[in-house]
Chains A and B, each alone.
Chain A
Amino acid sequence: MTDAVATGAPAPAATYDEPSGRAPRGLTVILMFAALVVLAGVVLLPIVATALGGFKELGELHSNPIGLPSVWVWSNYWSILTSLRYWQVLGNSLLIAMLTVALTLALASMAAFTFAHLRFFGDRFLLNYIQLGLLFPVATAIVPIFIKVRDLGLLNSYWGVILPQVAFSLAMAVLLLRNGFKQLPIELLDAAMMDGCGYFKYFFYITLPLSGPILSTVAVIAFVGSWNGYLLPLIVLNSESRYTWTLGLMAYQGEYITSWQLVLAFITLMILPAILMFLMAQRWIVAGLTAGAVKS
């Protein structure tokens, strides 16, 4: 199972072709290509229509929902871009996602390092204990989590979102990182120990610097999960100044329910950062999200 995507690093541009290395030709190719173009159109249509809809007046949206706007109205976008709430929800999401990533990486890599290199009484048990987290999603325990967050006084705080997010990403992160750390040549550890380098130095100066790809895989998974998360922020955050962008989006839609053109502009601006990031770091994101899934 682990062989299909060998590393978390960008996969080489390997191809799967018909035998003899020649590309398929002729009519088949044209038909397949046409089918792909149609499918791509269907996939892109809702996103493009949403972005264009943000440039229309409500009236035109009614008469011409998915075509190009006859008059490009910039005020919808402009009013959102100059509003505090847009930047506030983006900032909140960014802060929560970055802290989630940092904490996940720190806690999971320390635990994974211990499980990878040290044998002690109960090590299998503790590893299996953390792996239990792979068995069920956060939704199953969301009611007691709400009670717990409330009793800890973390309601409506960033930490109330971050800590459960980190806790639920630990199982997968520890698994991925432990496997990654174990793949580093054991001779490195032996040699380092021989030279009097303790485990701590080894961890910071050898293990972490050599584990870039797997660390970035874990980081991508944690970041995307946090950035797109909805259920946890929904139960924890209740003042608009703390809202993440997913909550802000739903609140905005509730407020401007009769003004689709504004809602569409708001959606577009909200998904824009994710799309830009995807376009810039496409290979890393795809590799991270798929490799992470495959390797668990």
Chain B
Amino acid sequence: MAATTYAEGQPTAATYVEPARRMTLNGWAVIVIFLPPALLLFTVFVALPMIEAGWYSFFNWDGYGPPQKFIGLKNYGYLVGNEVFARALINNGLVIVASLLVQLPLALGVAMTVAGRMPGAVWFRMIFFLPYILADVAAGLIWHFMFDGDYGLASTITGALGLQPYFLLASKDWAFSAILIVILWKYFGFYMMLYIAALQGIDKTLLEAAEMDGATPFQRFRHITLPLLGPMIRLSVFFSVVGALQLFDIVVPLTGGGPFNTTHTMVSFLYYFGLTRMRIGFGSAVGVVLFLICVTFTIGYRRLLMRDD
């Protein structure tokens, strides 16, 4: 980095009076040298692509040459009537519902038991967190094996019950439940860790005082622990929803969107129906919709629910 530039920016005598307050030549040198690389990279690969997505989405474009066939909002129109996309939206919604109703309560329950001095608590925490550090594609493949009707856990179960092999991932009605199971398995440990951190920040004297006043364990949980966990719970809900909206990696190794396109998410829809078919305009339109959902949710949620956190 710019180690040789110290000299030209040495503070002058005047700066000794009010250091760090008045802008000096040295300060300007920092701004001119330290900011542009980050700003440039961010602009080229984050800001511009998002603007371009909006622009491309008005075109029927295969990505070669400049976009020329302007078709207005037609790409968005295709989306409205697209059954696979509707199903993808529902699937993203299902992930959110499952996260909020099953994953977070489970994570909180487990956190309550392993945040304390339960024997082996440290080991349990480590085991439950372990799936989180695996890549989604690896987790997906591992479970692809588990669900395999010929070779996996599924075959053990059907075998033990004397049933025909059953292929969960090939079932139109149940394949997405399989994906939900994998998500639950992989991510609940992360939320458990967040809750443990929050639980350990709770002032124990509050709980002691309540116990002395005769509060039952449930009352202590309901009226002390839970309210004090409020900020962390709101934060974990936020992560769950944002994570659910961008779900992709785990779908590919499990079902690849099949069977009969019933297990797509918005991002896998974008990938399979936009990018791999080089329908750049259409794929961009999906990206814009996803962008609008993410931004609306993020800003709305932070304004409404996380104002005081």
A residues at B contact (CB < 8 Å):
1, 3-5, 11, 13-21, 23-24, 29, 32-33, 35-36, 39-40, 42-47, 49-50, 53, 61-62, 65-66, 106-108, 110-111, 113-114, 117-120, 126, 129-130, 132-137, 139-148, 150, 163-164, 166-168, 170-171, 174, 186, 189-190, 193-194, 196, 198-201, 203-204, 224, 227-231, 234-235, 245-246, 249-250, 253, 260, 263-264, 267, 270-271, 274-275, 278, 282, 285-286, 289-290, 293-294
Chain B residues, CB < 8 A from A167: 41-42, 44-46
B167 on interface, CB distance cutoff 8 Å? no
Q: Which residues of B contact A190 (CB under 8 A)?
A: 19-20
Q: Which residues of A contact B271 (CB under 8 A)?
A: 142, 231, 234
Question: Which of B79-87, B93-101, B168-176, B290-298 makes up part of the contact surface?
Answer: B290-298
Tell me, yes or no, whether B163 is within 8 Å of chain A by CB.
no
Q: Please tell me if the beta carbons of B9 and A293 are within 8 angstroms of each other in the complex.
A: no
Complex-state Cα separation, A201 to B30, whole angstroms: 11
* B129 interfacial contact with A, CB 8 Å: yes
Q: How far apart sit A119 and B22, CA to CA, in the bound complex (Å)?
A: 9
With A107-B38, A163-B41, A170-B41 known as contacts, the answer to whether A260 contacts B31 (CB < 8 A) is no
Chain B residues positioned under 8 Å from A193 (CB to CB):
11, 15-16, 19-20
Contact of B148 among A137, A245, A260 (CB under 8 A): A260
Asked whether B34 lies within 8 Å of A139 as measured between CB atoms, the reply is no
> How far apart sit A113 and B26, CA to CA, in the bound complex (Å)?
14
In the bound complex, what is the Cα–Cα distance between A167 and B189 (angstroms)? 28
Which B residues from 227 to 256 make CB contacts under 8 A with A?
231-232, 235, 239, 242, 245-246, 248-249, 252-253
Most B CB contacts (10 A, CB to CB) among A111, A200, A227 go to A200
| Distance A233 CA – B35 CA, assembled complex (angstroms) | 28
- Of B19, B26, B248, B288, the contact of A231 (CB 8 Å cutoff): B248
Asked whether, in the complex, the Cβ of B45 is within 8 Å of the Cβ of A148, the reply is yes
Q: Are B287 and A4 in contact (CB under 8 A)?
A: no
Can you report 24 residue pairs joining A to B where beta carbons are below 8 Å apart?
Answer: A11-B197, A15-B116, A17-B204, A46-B145, A49-B153, A62-B151, A65-B156, A110-B34, A111-B37, A133-B42, A139-B246, A140-B246, A143-B283, A144-B52, A148-B48, A170-B46, A171-B42, A200-B9, A224-B133, A228-B136, A246-B137, A271-B134, A274-B133, A294-B235
Chain B residues with a Cβ closer than 8 Å to the other chain, count: 125
How many angstroms between the C-alpha atoms of A166 and B37 in the bound complex? Answer: 11
Measured between beta carbons, the chain A residues less than 8 angstroms from B29 are 199-200
Pair B153/A66 contact, Cβ less than 8 Å: yes
Contact with A along B287-309 (1 / 0, CB 8 A): 11011001100110000001001
Distance between Cα atoms of A134 and B6 in the complex (Å): 33
CB pair B34 A111 closer than 8 Å:
yes
**Which residues of the partner chain A approach B53 to less than 8 Å between Cβ atoms?**
140-141, 143-144
Docked complex Cα distance between A15 and B119 (Å): 12
User: B196: CB under 8 A from chain A?
Assistant: yes
State whether A23 and B118 are in contact (beta carbons under 8 Å apart), knowing that A36-B124, A163-B41, A246-B138 are contacts in the complex: yes
| B284 CB contact (under 8 Å) in A14, A18, A144 | A144
Residues of B within 8 A of A139 (CB): 246, 248, 267, 270, 287, 290
For A163, list chain B residues within 8 Å (CB).
41, 44-45
Quote the shortest CB–CB distance from A62 to chain B (angstroms): 6
Known: A108-B38, A111-B38, A142-B270. A46 touches B235 (CB 8 A): no
A203 to B298, CA, bound (A): 33
Q: Which residue of the partner chain A has the closest CB to B200?
A: A14
Output the least CB separation between A245 and chain B (Å): 8
- Whether B118 pairs with A24 at a CB distance below 8 angstroms is yes
Q: Would you call B46 and A133 a contact (CB within 8 A)?
A: yes
State in angstroms the CA–CA spacing of A20 and B137 once bound together. Answer: 45
Whole-angstrom distance between the alpha carbons of A199 and B49 in the complex?
34
Q: Which residues of B contact A (CB under 8 A)?
A: 1-3, 5-6, 9-11, 15-16, 19-20, 23, 26-31, 33-35, 37-39, 41-42, 44-50, 52-53, 56, 63, 110, 112-124, 126-138, 141-143, 145-146, 148, 150-153, 155-156, 185, 189-190, 193-194, 196-202, 204, 207-208, 210-211, 217, 220, 231-232, 235, 239, 242, 245-246, 248-249, 252-253, 267, 270-271, 274-275, 280, 283-284, 287-288, 290-291, 294-295, 298-299, 306, 309
Say yes or no: B270 contacts A164, CB within 8 Å. no
Q: Residues of A contacting B150 with CB < 8 Å?
A: 62
Question: Is B253 within 8 A of A253, CB to CB?
Answer: yes
- Is the pair A289, B132 in contact by a Cβ cutoff of 8 Å? yes
B116 near A23 (CB under 8 angstroms)?
yes
The list of the 9 closest CB pairs from A to B, nearest first, reads A193-B19, A167-B45, A228-B135, A16-B115, A144-B49, A110-B34, A111-B38, A16-B199, A141-B49
Could you say which residues of chain B place their CB within 8 Å of the CB of A203? 30, 34
In the complex, A145 Cα to B15 Cα: how many Å? 45
Q: Give Cα A27 to B81, complex, Å.
A: 58
How distant is B233 from chain A, measured CB to nearest CB, in Å?
11
Beyond the given A144-B287, A163-B45, A271-B135, could you list 19 further A-B residue pairs with CB under 8 A, ordered by the A residue number? A4-B232, A16-B202, A18-B211, A20-B211, A24-B116, A36-B120, A39-B110, A107-B41, A118-B31, A126-B39, A135-B295, A136-B294, A139-B246, A143-B56, A143-B274, A147-B280, A203-B30, A263-B145, A285-B133
A46 touches B146 (CB 8 A): yes
CB pair B156 A145 closer than 8 Å: no
B221 vs chain A, min Cβ distance (A): 10
B31 shortest CB reach to chain A, Å: 6
> What residues on A are CB-neighbors of B5 within 8 Å?
200
